Amino acid sequence: MTRCIAGTLRERSSALRPGRFSAATAMPIVFGAAAVTPAYGHSSTGLAGGFESGFSHPFTGVDHLLAMVSVGIWGAFLGRPLVYALPVIFPFIMVGGAILGMFSFPMPPLELGIAASVLVLGLCVCLAIQAPAWVACAIVAIFAVFHGYAHGIELPSAADPVGYSVGFVLATGLLHALGIGIGLLNALPKGILVTRSFGGAVAVAGAWYLARTLGL
Amino acid sequence: MRGAALPPALLCVALGLGLASARGQTAVLGLAVLVLTASAVALMPVPESWSDVAFLGCWMSIIASAAIVYAPRILQDRAALAFSLNAGVWTGALIALAPSKVGLLAALPFSLCAWPGAWVRRRGQAIGLNVIASWLIGVAVLAATLQFLPATAGYVPDHMD
């Protein structure tokens, strides 16, 4: 085994000598390194958990990502105090949803709720809906339950649940902050056009998710 | 695999944000109480069987300390010291249960967020602290709930522990 590894290293080092290094030589190494993933047998049980896994989770699911950013943009449209209240309410309710998920509490179809959240939040941004505070809070809270539930199902099987929780709550908050940042474009000339167009694109994506979920 | 330094570090952040709403002198005294208490408890022998109680105490303390951020009034001196003492006890207990005491050095500096927190509060931007406090409370509630799950695969000792 050791000889085999040593032999491979010799071959690689000879391939990396000046003059012999080429794109053809580099490509397998680069792609091989990129394809390396942690060995699941040694990442404890279940998911390869921890902060990194939890942090990356909201970024890897486009439906989650679009909904979180839309919450921030819609908050920016609604102004004070909702611009700050929505990013506070969302994590609280999301935690409630996560707890329901951890205990496998029966819920309406999860994918349907998440797809609907992308569609509705996209429409709220696209149409710049000036909802009353309680309506905005209720809409965000209902969808936060679905998003939290999705995280909660995975949480108990994470190798490091605390790190995973910190990661996904922080990532969610940062996505809201990103949305609020995008919402600041409203102050610029034609900025509203940009943000509302973004909302339209999110709504189209939400409609697509919804159609796919319903099997249309 | 709950991580040795992360829960105490989160508690120190929560306390730091809470002390940001206290008077300057009180905040300094509170941080001193935290350091002394945590160091003293960390050196004491804590039975392994107290692990679940120590973690639960830590999560509850994070919720209580982070909730101070939402209080509109200035944190009173005695209350600040009581919160610091409480945080010190749980921080020290978790470190005492950890295989290494080095986690204490990693966790305690997070309490220094009291200074930037106080600065932010003075600038009238306390809403930023409210947002961070809500994240901390969310994580603590999740972690505390995990303790009551009947089976949590990643939460029980395995061959990596």
Q: Are residues A202 and A113 in the same domain?
A: yes
In a domain, A44, yes or no: no
A205, A122 contact by CB (below 8 A): yes
Number of domains in chain A: 2
Q: Are residues A61 and A157 in the same domain?
A: yes
Distance from CA of B29 to the nearest CA of A (A): 29
Q: Which of A13-22, B46-55, B126-135 has the lowest mean pLDDT?
A: A13-22
Interface check B148 vs A, CB under 8 A? no
* Contact state of B137 with A42 under an 8 Å Cβ cutoff: no
Q: Are residues A32 and A90 in the same domain?
A: no
Mean pLDDT for the stretch of residues B77-82: 90
Q: Are residues A191 and A109 in the same domain?
A: yes
pLDDT in tens, A159-170: 677 788 888 888
In a domain, B1, yes or no: no
The minimal CB distance from B3 to the residues A88, A162, A169 is found for A162
pLDDT of residue B90: 94
Which three-class secondary structure state does DSSP give residue A158? strand
DSSP B43: T
Number of domains in chain B: 1
Interface check B119 vs A, CB under 8 A? no
In a domain, A54, yes or no: yes
pLDDT of residue A39: 35
B94, B54 contact by CB (below 8 A): yes
Interacting residues of B103 by C-beta distance below 8 A, sequence separation 6+: B4, B5, B8, B94, B95
- Picking from B18, B105, B86, B133, the residue whose alpha carbon sits closest to that of residue A84 is B133
Mean pLDDT for the stretch of residues B70-80: 82
Mean pLDDT for the stretch of residues B120-128: 82
User: What is the end-to-end Cα distance of chain B in Å, rounded?
Assistant: 7
- Per-residue CA distances from A34 to A8, A31, A38, A163 (Å): 19, 5, 12, 24
In a domain, A45, yes or no: no
**Residue A80's closest chain B neighbor by CA?**
B127
In a domain, A145, yes or no: yes
Q: Are residues A12 and A71 in the same domain?
A: no
In a domain, A42, yes or no: no
> In terms of residue numbers, what domain contains B86?
6-155
Q: Are residues A64 and A158 in the same domain?
A: yes
Structure pTM? 0.74
Buried b (16+ CB within 10 A) or exposed e, B78-98: eebbebbebbbbbbbbbbbbb
pLDDT in tens, A101-130: 888 888 888 888 899 999 999 999 898 888
pLDDT in tens, A177-203: 888 888 888 888 888 888 899 989 999
- Binning pLDDT at 50, 70 and 90, where does residue A157 land? low
In a domain, B69, yes or no: yes
Is the sign of the CA dihedral A101, A105, A108, A109 positive or negative?
A: positive
B114, B16 contact by CB (below 8 A): yes
Q: Which residue has the tokens 């050791």?
A: A2
Q: Are residues A78 and A30 in the same domain?
A: no
- Binning pLDDT at 50, 70 and 90, where does residue B61 land? very high
> In terms of residue numbers, what domain contains A19?
2-36
Q: Are residues A11 and A62 in the same domain?
A: no
- Binning pLDDT at 50, 70 and 90, where does residue B81 land? very high
In a domain, B33, yes or no: yes
Q: What is the mean pLDDT of chain B?
A: 85
In a domain, A41, yes or no: no
Whole-angstrom distance, CA of residue A47 vs CA of residue B102: 28
Residue type, A39: A
B105, B12 contact by CB (below 8 A): no
Which three-class secondary structure state does DSSP give residue A2? helix
The minimal CB distance from A45 to the residues B138, B139, B154 is found for B154
Tell which wins on pLDDT, B120 or A57. B120
Q: Are residues A31 and A63 in the same domain?
A: no
Q: Which of A22-26, A124-128, A147-151 has the lowest mean pLDDT?
A: A22-26
Residue B75 CB: number of other CB atoms within 10 A? Answer: 21
In a domain, A77, yes or no: yes
* Contact state of A95 with B131 under an 8 Å Cβ cutoff: no
Whole-angstrom distance, CA of residue A124 vs CA of residue A117: 10
pLDDT of residue B159: 39
Q: Are residues A106 and A188 in the same domain?
A: yes
Mean pLDDT for the stretch of residues B9-13: 93
